[in-house]
Amino acid sequence: MAMASNVRFFGSARIYYRGRNVFLGNHLNAAGVAKALCSTSTGINNTNNISSEGSPDAPGLVTWKSSKAEQILVEKSEKDMPIEMPNPYEREKVCCILCKYNINLNFKNVRLLSQFVSPYTGKLYGRNITRLCRRQQEELEQQIRKSIAAGYMAAKMKSLDFLKDPKLFDPSNPVRPHNY
């Protein structure tokens, strides 16, 4: 399939060149080919930019001299480069409340630990509700277990003294939905 398309292309190129009186012989006819292509594509006989002398690196190849129009285009494209700016779609870095205020958890600070316990079930809120980082959530669980084992916190329910404390987070608005 690919072979047939290549043959068709070369065949059509040969017919095109014969119709333009350009023969594909050697590299010296390259300027003639370029001249024919320039005159037919634009309708203007502009062959000032083409030379068949070749470059010192590869003799016999057609080289193109840059024109003023090309230089202007290059200058415009350099000026038209994107400017450096921060990504407007990047999410802002969210820091957990304990890291933000550099709060150290202690098993004796029952008032702070009880903020992360549900008043209805007595269970610890998950990370999706408390919005704590993983390290602080693990530390919180460890300190609550230690506080319950030492007898500072109630095991099943939240103490009534701390029910009216201000909330550090909104339990009804989790980051992602939960199962219950």
pLDDT tens-digit profile of 128-149?
999 999 999 999 999 999 999 9
What integer pLDDT is reported at residue 45 of this predicted model?
Answer: 47
Residue 141 to residue 116: CA distance in whole angstroms: 10
Q: Which residues pair with 59 in a beta bridge?
A: 54
Higher pLDDT, 180 or 104: 104
Q: Residue 35 pLDDT more than 90?
A: no
- 140 close to 105: Cβ distance less than 8 angstroms: yes
Residue 157 to residue 166: CA distance in whole angstroms: 18
The residue ranges of every structural domain in the chain are: 2-54+62-69, 97-162
What integer pLDDT is reported at residue 74 of this predicted model?
Answer: 76
What integer pLDDT is reported at residue 125 of this predicted model?
Answer: 92
What integer pLDDT is reported at residue 156 of this predicted model?
Answer: 85
Could you give the angle at the alpha carbon of 149 between the alpha carbons of 101 and 143, nearest 5°? 15
Q: Residue 154 pLDDT more than 70?
A: yes
Q: Which of 76-80, 81-85, 136-140, 146-150 has the lowest mean pLDDT?
A: 76-80
Instruction: Tell me the mean pLDDT in the region 48-63.
Output: 52
What 8-state DSSP symbol labels residue 63?
Answer: E
3-class DSSP assignment, residue 124: strand
Surface-to-core class of residue 93, CB atoms within 10 Å of its CB (0-12 exposed, 13-18 middle, 19+ buried): exposed
The CATH architecture one would assign to domain 97-162 is Irregular (4.10)
pLDDT tens-digit profile of 85-125?
888 899 888 889 999 999 999 999 999 999 999 988 889 99
Global pTM reads: 0.50
3-class DSSP assignment, residue 159: coil
